[in-house]
Structure 1
């Protein structure tokens, strides 16, 4: 029987394809040769469930992560994330905002990083405006950094394509704006005056859904603008009782998810369930889905994602995993911990994470698929 040190590169590479991310790193720590193999893109880790990006540890300043498949926490020293608020996740990269309200795009597992230009004008969030509007004390920088950018996603993995596009929703009405490497500033997209809930890159186009369930596509020709697609969803299906809308590319189908919930007396928003709607762009119509074909969905400030529970059986079949999204109009003293999983089969909502372990006051947990190569 051959010694481990004598195994060929092909055999070792095949072994790494069965390893989850933590074991992938342990494999690379054995010796220089194994480390070289672990970094090869042709030998990526095995398919895995998303991780949760949590807040900083107050003592060590390490960023905390939670592996859903292992039900285990990891604490990683990532200086670039110290004191930064996470407002987006896409292709294994994080968008993070610091106390000066400037942002970076970073892969937390490789530490590769892009400095982002200053965000577009957010004068509606001056101390005076917010304090007057919501009858509250003046905002601190810690609070300001959580409300400037609502969500951020990428068109492509920057490791795969250098001509990727970053898209954000920012400001009081979550206006869209985009940036590409080499640009000195963000370009704000105009055209519609209502508030936006989510963004999606789908079949070479960016789409935005409004709080009113109307879908729009970003037209980049000449002066970038939003153009309504025209699919109308009756209010009794997707608007009433909704607290947030999400868009997801589900194996080539565009899905709109309506998050239903209520506000309790203590100020906490509680999720009651979801409505899943397929938007058929070519037919200009929609249909309601009663299940998601055995998959699991992961929603939040991340680019929404799905996994096949046949390949990853440690998550709930037909389950919709969701995280809370910090609402700056909700009293901070009540916390924000509306995390859970909705079972589409029996229409019940359960937990996957203990609120006693994670009781955030500012930061929102964000899903990420580890991308360590």
Structure 2
């Protein structure tokens, strides 16, 4: 039998296709030959559960991550992320903003990075302190008590990518920014963001789906981005009623590309002690061509991961450590929190029996700046 270190490249590469990220790094530590194989970019990667991007470690300044499959924390040295909050996760890349209101797009596992131009509406400010000083006195009580955490949704609420920058250099980045969550886009080589003309209502989420960007408003109206001749949002799809026929400030909406189906996920809340607490989710499929919609009772045994990230779905049959028909969620809004399900409302909802549970030890994580964000590791 041949020595393990002498296995051919093709055989070793095939083995790595079954390895999740931690085992991939362990594989590369065996010997020089295996390490050279582990550095090769491969597709498709092994199925894996998302990680949570947590806050900086106070002592080491490393960024903390949480592997859901291993129920284990990792501390990675990514200096570019120190002191920045995460406003988006897409294709394994993070959008991060610092106190000077400058942004980067970075793959934390390869440290490949793009510097982003000043965000629209905020390029006149040099840092968050001067921004807070300009907050109108009648805006939620004015600047008294305002912090970087409270200003985050004002700068960039969410950011996504059309494609993985490691696969295509002509990708497009889209953000929701400002008090009204307006939309804007940027492409490599652009010197600034291009603001998209749209309705007065704010947007809850954005999605790249089958070659187009879509946005969803709190009134459940769906819009598509029309780039020509001038970028604008155009209403499309059926009229989808709100839960119980009323609008609630505690409800968040998400869009997801679910195996070729566009889904709208409504997050419903209950209220207590002045806080909104997640109590369930409704899964809706808008049928754009038929101008109608369907309500889904389950998600075919998959698990969804919702938050500031591009919504992720994984097959629970291939990854048994996650809950079938489970919706894992985080939330960036400090008005939504629950001691029972985790600070900043972390939890998992079972669509089968309509129960709520935990996936993260509540006593461990108390973020100083931003809520955790899901990311699918992409070091290849």
Shorter-normalised TM range? over 0.9
- After superposition, give the CA deviation of every residue in 1:70-96 in whole Å (9 maximum; x if it has no partner): 111001010000000000000000000
- For residues 268-287 of structure 1, the aligned pairs below 5 Å read 268-287=275-294
Partner of 1:129: helix, strand, or coil? coil
Alpha-carbon distance, 1:336 to partner: 4.4
| Structure 2 match to 1:358 | 365
Give unpaired runs (5+ residues) of structure 2.
126-130
| TM-score, normalised relative to structure 2 | 0.92
Partner Cα distance (2:69, 2:149) in 1: 32
For the 8 Å contact 1:341–1:352, the answer to whether it is kept is yes
Describe the superposition over 1:47-90 as per-residue Cα deviations: whole angstroms up to 9, x where unpaired.
10000000111111110100011111001010000000000000
> How far, CA to CA, are the matches of 2:327 and 2:244 in structure 1?
18
Alignment partner, residue 108 of structure 1: 108
Q: What is the rounded CA distance, in whole Å, between the counterparts of 2:74 and 2:92 in structure 1? A: 16
Give, in angstroms, the shift of residue 138 of structure 1: 5.4
Q: Secondary structure at the match of 1:147?
A: helix
Q: Is the 8 A contact 1:128 1:138 kept in 2?
A: no
Any residues of structure 2 matched to 1:28-47 within 5 Å, and which?
28-42=28-42, 45-47=45-47
Q: CA distance change for structure 1 residues 113 and 238 in 2, over 3 Å: closer, same or farther?
A: farther
Change over 3 Å in CA distance of 1:282–1:330 after alignment to 2: closer
Structure 2 CA distance for partners of 1:131 and 1:357, relative to 1, 3 Å? farther
- Provide the residue aligned with 2:76 in structure 1: 76
Question: Do the aligned partners of 2:52 and 2:65 also contact (CA within 8 Å) in 1?
Answer: yes
The number of residue pairs the alignment matches comes to: 368
**Residue 306 of structure 1, aligned match among 284, 309, 313:** 313
Counterpart pick for 2:251 among 222, 227, 243 = 243
RMSD: 2.0
The match for 1:264 among 269, 272, 277 is: 272
Q: State the distance in 2 between where 1:201 and 1:321 align.
A: 21
Following superposition, the deviation at residue 364 of structure 1 comes to: 1.2
**Could you tell me which of 176, 179, 184 is aligned with 1:169?**
176
1:98 lines up with 2:98 in the alignment: yes
Offset at residue 262 of structure 1 (A): 2.6
Asked if the contact 1:94–1:105 (Cα under 8 Å) also holds between the matched residues in 2, the reply is yes
**Could you say if the C-alpha distance between residues 130 and 264 of structure 1 is closer, same or farther in structure 2, counting changes exceeding 3 Å?**
farther
Contact 1:276 1:289 in 2 (8 A): yes
TM-score (norm 1): 0.93
